[in-house]
Amino acid sequence: MLRYWLALKHAPGVGPTRAAALIESYGSPRAVFEQSRESGALGAALRDPDWAAVDADLAWAAADDCHLLCFDDPLYPTRLRDIADPPPVLYVRGDPRVLDTPQVAMVGSRNPSPLGQETARAFARHLAGVGLSVTSGLALGIDAEAHQGALDGGGGTVAVFGTGTDRIYPARHRQLAHAIVDAGGALVSELSPDMPPRPAHFPRRNRIISGLSLGTLVVEAAPRSGSLITARLAAEQGREVFAIPGSIHNPLARGCHRLIREGAKLVECAEDVLEELAPQLLALLESLPAVADKPAENDIDADQRRLLACVDHNPVSVDMLVDRSGLTADVVSSILLHLELQGYVVSATGGYARTAKRA
């Protein structure tokens, strides 16, 4: 069946929306070719598929770390299936399983300020450190800082290309791309592996970045930034949109301020993102197959138990927990997310409170 998915993908004039309509009409990709009643250029293309291009794709997928995921593949990312125009086929270098992990997209200016670079890397490091994957576009500036921050945090990161995955763009990020794969992340594109960069590819790439993610965080963006396209697509897809505010004198903050005026959630620290996404993360955890219960003493480690002892049944602020526990703010935030996912604490107005679950 993969051959027919690829043949449909290579048919001239057949994009994701047209492909979905054809499959709905005929029942399967194979039936589109075997039972086609289409006329004109489309009919001619379906009667004479580009099997050479299909064979080239299959040969590419035979190499190490190369994968083709068609829409009905079990490894095709669940969240991406839900968008209006999902790619019929994904070309993946690296571990395809990372595509279905909980992800936060991070995007922003290609020419960020030094503070913007530092902020992006710090947010990504924190988010990756608590188990979220960070998704971006491997572009200069904020994208690269997001990927590197996720690597620094020991987490997974996904780079979505506006080229084929064999065309690292920009070329200076070749080493970063290899580091993403080596760390268990993935390089992803809906384009054939050797496709060069073209302006029209990048706005379409953005829908995949937002579509893979639970939410999109914009770090710095000018009013005409492509990052605002990603944020708009995220909102249209029903995903969360976050923006980091900046100085009114910084032109790179104006795009973020516009998003906030339009309803994006203002965030000042990574914990703000985690608090907003916590219900979705809990729902994802509950949807996983049940596993055998572990003894309570193995649920949490020493630092987690130490912090839990500092949480009351009335809400306690993060700052207060830092003071009580002696742990750093980053460590406290990471542990709180783990404890919330395990059901020991809940987020409440004013901070976090203990549940009835005993450790």
CA dist list (Å): 110 to 3, 149, 201, 336:
38, 16, 17, 33
Give the chain's radius of gyration (CA, Å): 22
Instruction: Compute the distance between CA of residue 18 and CA of residue 76 in angstroms, rounded to an integer.
Output: 19
Instruction: Compute the distance between CA of residue 199 and CA of residue 234 in angstroms, rounded to an integer.
Output: 20
* Main-chain dihedrals φ then ψ at residue 37, nearest 5 degrees: -115, 15
DSSP secondary-structure letter at 313?
A: S
When pLDDT is cut at 50, 70 and 90, the band that residue 340 belongs to is: confident
| Least confident span in 9-13, 17-21, 231-235, 332-336 | 332-336
DSSP secondary-structure letter at 316?
A: B
pLDDT of amino acid 295 = 35
Instruction: Compute the distance between CA of residue 261 and CA of residue 258 in angstroms, rounded to an integer.
Output: 5
Q: Please report where in the chains the tokens 């200069």 appear, as a residue.
A: 140
pTM value is 0.81
Amino acid making up residue 121: R
DSSP secondary-structure letter at 157?
A: E
Of 186, 39, 27, 176, nearest to 99 by C-alpha is 186
Is residue 293 over pLDDT 50?
no
pLDDT digits (tens, 9 = 90+) for 126-139: 999 888 999 999 99
| Least confident span in 41-55, 58-72, 286-300 | 286-300
Question: What residues contact residue 87 under an 8 Å CB cut-off, 6+ apart?
Answer: 16, 71, 80, 190, 208
Helices (H), the chain: 2-10, 16-26, 29-34, 40-47, 51-61, 78-81, 114-129, 142-152, 174-182, 201-211, 227-236, 254-261, 270-287, 302-308, 318-325, 329-342
Of 216, 237, 239, 215, nearest to 228 by C-alpha is 216
Q: Is 273 helix (H, G, I), strand (E, B) or coil?
A: helix
